[in-house]
Structure 1
Amino acid sequence: MTEVLYRADSYLRETTARIVSAEAAGIVLDRTNFYARAGGQPGDTGTLRWAGGEVPILEAVKGEGEAILHRTPEGAALPPPGTEATLVLEWERRHRHMRMHSAMHLLCSLIPGAGVTGGQVGADKSRLDFDLAEPPTKESLTEALNALVAADHPISDTWISEAELDANPGLVRTLSVQPPRGSGQIRLVRIGPEEAPVDLQPCGGTHVKTTREIGRVEVTKMENKGRQNRRISIALVEG
């Protein structure tokens, strides 16, 4: 099992860890600040350093059981098990994923009642697919998104039991991907105050602390991907 540190602190840029195993498929450590690819969010990249060496981490992915694999270039020199090492995130990329993922939750809040049929978080652009006959216009969505960003809503998480989720099935917006089960607990990401959230839904991804940190967002494209499948793409506007 790999202890996942990003759930408690998604801003942890580096951490020390001990090598559990190091093979061609990837390196497993006893703990990590790297997000493993899941739910449409890419796995983190960065660098693993130890006394006498370092290796690039091409992506973190899920391994067997609760292990996280840190993939390395083919033929790279790997540290032996038991080695103490330091994991350093490629922070700018991770932070863009955090901003994008939070913006996607805001987009969900602006299209209530429509199931999400797919999605992909990206550093440069992201998308959500909705089971929706007629979406709002690009201009109106862009304006509404940036109003929510400017409102500086807090973003936090909480945990509920699987039984509580079963009693509130409307919390799940995604039709293609269901929250992971088995541990008995489901993580919810909340945007806004507890008594009147802007958005509240199960999510295992990484997020920023407030909507203002997202920065300006633009709806860049809207596409028909089926009779009632509408793809909405967004991008961060820098500068």
Structure 2
Amino acid sequence: MTEGTGALFREDAYLQETEARVIGVNERGGILLDRTVFYATSGGQPGDTGYIVRPDGGRIAIATTVTGETKDEIIHVPAPDQSLPEPGEMVRVVIDWPRRLQLMRMHTACHLLTVVCPFPITGAAVGEAESRVDFDIPDPSYTKELVSERLMQLIAADHPVFTRWITDEDLAANPNLVKSKNVRPPSGTGRIRLVGIGENGSVDSQPCGGTHVRSTAEVGAIHIGKIEKKGRENRRFRIRFGPLPQ
């Protein structure tokens, strides 16, 4: 069984680099480390990019980061034609911070959208320039103008954003914490990570393994660029940076 990777981003999403030990290279050239700041593709958020610095100063460009058989197996996927490290090497791993910060702002905005639109979520994807969240939403009054205005009110309020851990039993006792219609958070490990917004989660609290900014004000200007009809009651909300165009 592969040794797991310490996922430092789960406790501090603002860590941009760390020292790490290479614990293996898989058959596809994916690099496994004993600890990392790289987020692996999951929950609609894409994996981090960046680079690994070897002891001789050589750099290995990382094109993406994915999980293996479990969430604790984080695989750093090199770009083509990169040299590969040897197991046991001590390296420095550095994420593409501007890209990560964009994704953190966007992911937080997606959480705020689920507050403004309190309906079952049927899909979501976080991107650097645009994200989407799909809802089963029977109410046609949720226009892009109304939703954009309410999003900016939450952002301007500068609510704190934080994480905490609960048990499987806590989640079972509070099923409304799960907003997704079709996907349940993984259970069986004994604990589940919650992302809260507002004092003591007064604005929102939901299971999530992704990375987020520390306060809603850091999201900045955001708006709904488009609402697409995907079914009789299913709507896709596309979130974009910047103020709503006039």
Smaller-chain TM-score bracket: over 0.9
1:116 aligns with 2:115: no
Structure 1 position 146 matched with structure 2 position 136: no
C-alpha distance in structure 2 between counterparts of 1:177 and 1:37, whole Å:
16
| Cα separation, 1, equivalents of 2:85 and 2:124 | 36
Does structure 2 retain, via aligned residues, the 8 Å contact 1:160–1:187? yes
1:74-98: CA deviation from partner (whole Å, max 9, x where unpaired): 3321011100000011001100110
Are 2:106 and 2:131, in contact at CA under 8 Å, matched by a contact in 1? yes
Q: Does 1:71 align with 2:77?
A: yes
Per the alignment, residue 47 of structure 1 pairs with 51
State the alpha-carbon separation in 1 of the partners of residues 160 and 75 from structure 2. 32
Q: Say which of 42, 63, 70 aligns to 1:38.
A: 42
Deviations 1:45-103 (A, max 9, x none): 00001122211101110013321100012332101110000001100110011000111
Provide the alpha-carbon RMSD of the alignment. Answer: 1.2
Question: Could you give the per-residue CA deviations for residues 147-176 of structure 1, whole angstroms, max 9, x where no partner exists?
Answer: 110100000111111111111111100123
The corresponding residue for 2:33 is 29
Q: CA deviation at 1:134?
A: 2.8
Specify the SS of the correspondent of 1:58. Answer: strand
Q: Distance in 2 between matches of 1:188 and 1:31?
A: 22
Q: Which of 221, 224, 230 in structure 1 is aligned with 2:229?
A: 224
Rounded Cα–Cα distance in structure 2 between residues aligned with 1:188 and 1:12: 19
Q: Which moved more, 1:65-74 or 1:89-98?
A: 65-74
Q: Distance in 1 between matches of 2:97 and 2:45?
A: 15
- Provide the C-alpha distance between the structure 2 equivalents of 1:67 and 1:139, rounded to a whole number of angstroms: 42
Letter in 2 for 1:150: A
Residue of structure 2 equivalent to 1:191: 197
Q: Compute the displacement of 1:227 (Å).
A: 1.1
Unaligned segments of structure 1, at least 5 residues: none
- Partner residue of 1:103 out of 109, 112, 116: 109
* CA distance in 1 between partners of 2:203 and 2:229 (Å): 27
Aligned to 1:203: 208
SS in 2 for 1:128: strand
- Does residue 12 (structure 1) correspond to residue 15 (structure 2)? The answer is yes
Are 2:29 and 2:84, in contact at CA under 8 Å, matched by a contact in 1?
no
Decide which of 114, 136, 139 is 1:134's aligned counterpart: 139
Post-superposition Cα deviations, 1:112-152, rounded to whole Å, max 9, x if no partner, equal 2x100000000000000001123411111111101110100
**Could you tell me the percent identity over the aligned residues?**
48
Residue number in structure 2 paired with 1:182:
188
Mapped to 2, the partners of 1:141 and 1:171 lie a distance apart of 22
Question: Residue 239 of structure 2 aligns to which amino acid in structure 1?
Answer: I
Asked if the contact 1:133/1:230 (under 8 Å) is kept, the reply is: no
